[in-house]
Chain A
């Protein structure tokens, strides 16, 4: 029986990563590499110049770390610069930055100081984002101008001691009193960034009087301002890193929140939380780009000046390999982040999976880059006088907050599988419902674009990179087949097959990074010619070579693996509550 040909779909309603995972290369989305409009480039360059001057004079990351805080004067200075209003629309006193522009500035902040990144990013990427996305006109007029001016700092309060990754299980309650149109909030949040001095909180609570089908549909989001009373931040946490940032528990004691502070509709809170987090992750990846560049600078200076065996450290090949890894991964990450941001600016409808890829790849790549840089510095790398150990401490949290990398891998894999799953009757429906608890809430009927080429081909890559392009297309196809196999094998049982989720997510990230790199290098070749793009071609080749090795390994493991043994090993450890193989004992 022949199927009717699918109707063409607007590429902006598709998702590049989902398309890759289901076997195809999303050429229409990925090529050409996004160009930055001249006007925006001018604004951002001017602002970066200003920010750098400011940072040179006033930002001392070692002091913030030592003194556990950023002085009020610096916060005021950043407010005067306009740093707290970048993404707020101009109509509300902000500067209406595009996603690309915001990412570029976030990159610079990440290069400067991670605690500063939390202050500014915690405020905008999560703290006030809900108000921009879901606030009413009246609410926006009321708070956004103050938030843009930095007169109020924002925080995002979702996590509770008993509800971390499983955010739908929060216990903070909101009791609605219809007579006074007031919600009374009670509960404890913890680890709230900026919480020590924020005056504006986006708070999530169980709306206990709301009749709902399941628990996460009972969550409601609120704007809670400090002046409502009963909002009590606890003492600052003592942390591994980000010591300059504020992280506190937050007690909500009979906080009387007027109906006018309701964000979105009652019961929409979980969706709002997920949407805020989903839209903010690309910029976290951008911060990691900045951190990586800083490490490469420091390491290059160190390696070219330090000598052992009458030779520059830089000239030893094992050290060169580290530099190549740092530079190649940073190039790939940068390519992925600004491709994603460019797509967001073009109007990509749902970029939750791409944002997750930027977050996972960014946080793990900067971690490795810092580790490499520290290693290159030798013993100095371990000393407090040098910036490496602080960078290492500061960057560790990246893999935990804003959705742990484990949870995000599940999100990437399940979202990717959904695409093919919908085509397979036996799993289609089953995949849909439980996905929401992982934050996959897309309303869009995301479809694959009509293939213009036979699968496994890629037409828009520059000739110099044709073999790499073909490899990527081939592996995408192999991945699509693997997804189909998994789905047929496990049916709806696939939801708990995390060994495979991790593999698929890793493949998805590598494929997405590869197409981003191919697109960027191709645009460079088209603009400057092959000769002048030789270095970028080289970076692309090295990255894709590594990606191929990794992807092949992951796909093989999907096919044949020792998963049951892995389960058994972990069981033994759980049973023994430790290592169970005596030797000396």
Chain B
């Protein structure tokens, strides 16, 4: 059984995010990039399916600038067979629909049983690309998968919903988005890392894939403004030697400085 796995290469959750000078993008200069953790679950599940069936391929796909190739290499090191890089070139801040169209175009040229996504990227946290791609391809879609049983031409997926689990059966090929708990992703071994160097990364240009959203003017959604949460104020300690005076001071501060009462 063949799988496609969409890979988002995102800022490390531990990176300190800075807003760029244009006020609507992040300053990428000091960002450390990682494969989105949710995509790792998708990749791991695809690898496990290939291993349990003893046949099939796992292809990882990423849409983005040159750096995403490093993310693809990492996936190849973990065991994916080959990779497709959609080079976004000069295009910045492609919207979710643009990314989905590019991925759908790659999928149309491939034969696959599963197309895996993370239940969300890390960063925009929109949870849009998986469902949009399913829509564009006209395929069934199961979101937030935490357990999967693979049958003949169909799968039974357990998905996490508010306060409960829902069991869904769907036909293949299908689009699945992976949620934490689905599996424990493996680590890339040295053997995998060395082997990955010999595995192919096919390169496609966004321009060749008929994605009108690549033109910022045609994007259906765009980032207008980014701002960081206000920094937390330093804690102010009121000496409590005299409780009555302390209470009085607290009320004064709440009224005059914090202006909440």
Which residue numbers of A lie inside 8 Å of B, CB to CB? 39, 42-43, 46-47, 49-51, 53-54, 77, 80-83, 85-86, 90, 95
Complex: A77 Cα to B188 Cα, angstroms? 11
Give residues of chain B (149-206) contacting chain A, Cβ–Cβ below 8 Å: 187-191, 193-194, 196-197
Contacting residue for B189 out of A42, A80, A90, CB 8 A: A80
Q: Is the CB of A43 within 8 A of B193?
A: yes
**Known contacts A43-B193, A47-B193, A50-B193; is A81 also within 8 Å of B187 by CB?**
yes
Q: Is the CB of B190 within 8 A of A81?
A: yes
B43 contacts chain A at the CB level, 8 A cutoff: no
Q: Is the CB of B189 within 8 A of A46?
A: no
Which residue numbers of B lie inside 8 Å of A, CB to CB? 73-74, 77, 187-191, 193-194, 196-197
Q: With both chains docked as a complex, state the minimum distance between the C-beta of A321 and any C-beta of chain B, in angstroms.
A: 27
Q: Which residues of B contact A82 (CB under 8 A)?
A: 189-191
Q: Which residues of B contact A81 (CB under 8 A)?
A: 187, 189-190
Q: Is the CB of B191 within 8 A of A46?
A: no
Interface pairs (27), CB distance under 8 Å:
A43-B190, A43-B193, A43-B197, A46-B77, A46-B193, A46-B196, A47-B188, A47-B190, A47-B193, A49-B188, A50-B77, A50-B187, A50-B188, A50-B189, A50-B193, A51-B187, A77-B187, A80-B189, A81-B187, A81-B189, A81-B190, A82-B191, A85-B190, A86-B190, A90-B194, A95-B190, A95-B191
Contacting residue for B73 out of A46, A50, A80, A83, CB 8 A: A46
The closest CB in chain A to the CB of B186 belongs to A80
Top 10 A-B pairs, shortest CB-CB distance = A82-B190, A50-B188, A50-B187, A46-B193, A82-B189, A95-B190, A54-B187, A81-B189, A82-B191, A53-B187
9 new A-B contacts, CB < 8 A, other than A46-B77, A51-B187, A53-B187, are A43-B190, A43-B197, A46-B74, A46-B196, A81-B190, A82-B189, A82-B191, A90-B194, A95-B194
Complex: A81 Cα to B189 Cα, angstroms? 4
The closest CB in chain A to the CB of B190 belongs to A82
Complex: A151 Cα to B190 Cα, angstroms? 16
Q: Is the CB of B194 within 8 A of A43?
A: yes
Q: With both chains docked as a complex, state the minimum distance between the C-beta of A43 and any C-beta of chain B, in angstroms.
A: 6
Q: With both chains docked as a complex, state the minimum distance between the C-beta of B67 and any C-beta of chain A, in angstroms.
A: 13
Q: Which residues of A contact B189 (CB under 8 A)?
A: 50, 80-82
The closest CB in chain A to the CB of B40 belongs to A53
Q: Which residues of B contact A43 (CB under 8 A)?
A: 190, 193-194, 197
Q: With both chains docked as a complex, state the minimum distance between the C-beta of B177 and any C-beta of chain A, in angstroms.
A: 22
Complex: A224 Cα to B76 Cα, angstroms? 39
Q: Which residues of A contact B73 (CB under 8 A)?
A: 42, 46
- What DSSP secondary structure best describes chain A's contact surface? helix
Q: Which residues of B contact A39 (CB under 8 A)?
A: 197
Q: Which residues of A contact B197 (CB under 8 A)?
A: 39, 43
Q: How many residue-residue contacts, CB under 8 A, span A and B?
A: 41
Complex: A42 Cα to B77 Cα, angstroms? 12
Complex: A49 Cα to B73 Cα, angstroms? 13
Q: Which residues of A contact B77 (CB under 8 A)?
A: 46, 50
Q: Which residues of B contact A51 (CB under 8 A)?
A: 187
Q: With both chains docked as a complex, state the minimum distance between the C-beta of B208 and any C-beta of chain A, in angstroms.
A: 28
Instruction: Give the residue among B74, B77, B188 with the most A Cβ atoms within 10 A.
Output: B188
Q: With both chains docked as a complex, state the minimum distance between the C-beta of A105 and any C-beta of chain B, in angstroms.
A: 9
Complex: A77 Cα to B190 Cα, angstroms? 12
Q: With both chains docked as a complex, state the minimum distance between the C-beta of B154 and any C-beta of chain A, in angstroms.
A: 33
Q: Which residues of A contact B194 (CB under 8 A)?
A: 43, 90, 95
Q: With both chains docked as a complex, state the minimum distance between the C-beta of A290 and any C-beta of chain B, in angstroms.
A: 19
The closest CB in chain B to the CB of A58 belongs to B187
Q: With both chains docked as a complex, state the minimum distance between the C-beta of B32 and any C-beta of chain A, in angstroms.
A: 10
Instruction: Give the residue among B74, B189, B197 with the most A Cβ atoms within 10 A.
Output: B189
Complex: A51 Cα to B196 Cα, angstroms? 17
Complex: A47 Cα to B73 Cα, angstroms? 12
The closest CB in chain A to the CB of B193 belongs to A46
Instruction: Give the residue among B73, B74, B194, B197 with the most A Cβ atoms within 10 A.
Output: B194
Complex: A51 Cα to B77 Cα, angstroms? 13
Q: Which residues of B contact A86 (CB under 8 A)?
A: 190
Instruction: Give the residue among B74, B187, B196 with the most A Cβ atoms within 10 A.
Output: B187
Q: Is the CB of A49 within 8 A of B190?
A: no
Q: With both chains docked as a complex, state the minimum distance between the C-beta of B40 and any C-beta of chain A, in angstroms.
A: 10
Contacting residue for B188 out of A42, A46, A85, A95, CB 8 A: A46
Complex: A85 Cα to B193 Cα, angstroms? 14
Q: Which residues of B contact A50 (CB under 8 A)?
A: 77, 187-189, 193
The closest CB in chain B to the CB of A149 belongs to B191
Q: Which residues of A contact B74 (CB under 8 A)?
A: 46, 49
Complex: A56 Cα to B205 Cα, angstroms? 37
Q: With both chains docked as a complex, state the minimum distance between the C-beta of B31 and any C-beta of chain A, in angstroms.
A: 15
Q: Which residues of A contact B190 (CB under 8 A)?
A: 43, 47, 81-83, 85-86, 95
Q: With both chains docked as a complex, state the minimum distance between the C-beta of B83 and any C-beta of chain A, in angstroms.
A: 14
Q: With both chains docked as a complex, state the minimum distance between the C-beta of A88 and any C-beta of chain B, in angstroms.
A: 11
Q: With both chains docked as a complex, state the minimum distance between the C-beta of B103 and any C-beta of chain A, in angstroms.
A: 25
Complex: A95 Cα to B187 Cα, angstroms? 17
Q: With both chains docked as a complex, state the minimum distance between the C-beta of B194 and any C-beta of chain A, in angstroms.
A: 6
Instruction: Give the residue among A54, A77, A90 with the most B Cβ atoms within 10 A.
Output: A54
Complex: A374 Cα to B216 Cα, angstroms? 54
Complex: A109 Cα to B190 Cα, angstroms? 15
Q: Which residues of B contact A95 (CB under 8 A)?
A: 190-191, 194
Q: With both chains docked as a complex, state the minimum distance between the C-beta of B134 and any C-beta of chain A, in angstroms.
A: 30
Complex: A82 Cα to B190 Cα, angstroms? 5
Complex: A77 Cα to B187 Cα, angstroms? 9
Q: With both chains docked as a complex, state the minimum distance between the C-beta of A147 and any C-beta of chain B, in angstroms.
A: 14
Complex: A90 Cα to B197 Cα, angstroms? 15
Q: With both chains docked as a complex, state the minimum distance between the C-beta of A370 and any C-beta of chain B, in angstroms.
A: 25
Instruction: Give the residue among A80, A82, A86 with the most B Cβ atoms within 10 A.
Output: A82
Complex: A53 Cα to B188 Cα, angstroms? 10
Q: With both chains docked as a complex, state the minimum distance between the C-beta of B237 and any C-beta of chain A, in angstroms.
A: 11
Q: With both chains docked as a complex, state the minimum distance between the C-beta of A408 and any C-beta of chain B, in angstroms.
A: 31
Complex: A412 Cα to B193 Cα, angstroms? 39
Instruction: Give the residue among B189, B190, B196, B197 with the most A Cβ atoms within 10 A.
Output: B190
Complex: A42 Cα to B4 Cα, angstroms? 25
Q: Which residues of B contact A80 (CB under 8 A)?
A: 187, 189
Complex: A95 Cα to B195 Cα, angstroms? 11
Q: With both chains docked as a complex, state the minimum distance between the C-beta of A85 and any C-beta of chain B, in angstroms.
A: 7
Complex: A90 Cα to B188 Cα, angstroms? 18
Q: With both chains docked as a complex, state the minimum distance between the C-beta of A306 and any C-beta of chain B, in angstroms.
A: 15
Q: Which residues of A contact B188 (CB under 8 A)?
A: 46-47, 49-50
Q: Which residues of B contact A53 (CB under 8 A)?
A: 187
Q: Which residues of A contact B193 (CB under 8 A)?
A: 43, 46-47, 50
Complex: A43 Cα to B77 Cα, angstroms? 10
Complex: A167 Cα to B77 Cα, angstroms? 44
The closest CB in chain B to the CB of A52 belongs to B187
The closest CB in chain A to the CB of B77 belongs to A46
The closest CB in chain A to the CB of B196 belongs to A46
Instruction: Give the residue among A39, A53, A86, A90 with the most B Cβ atoms within 10 A.
Output: A53
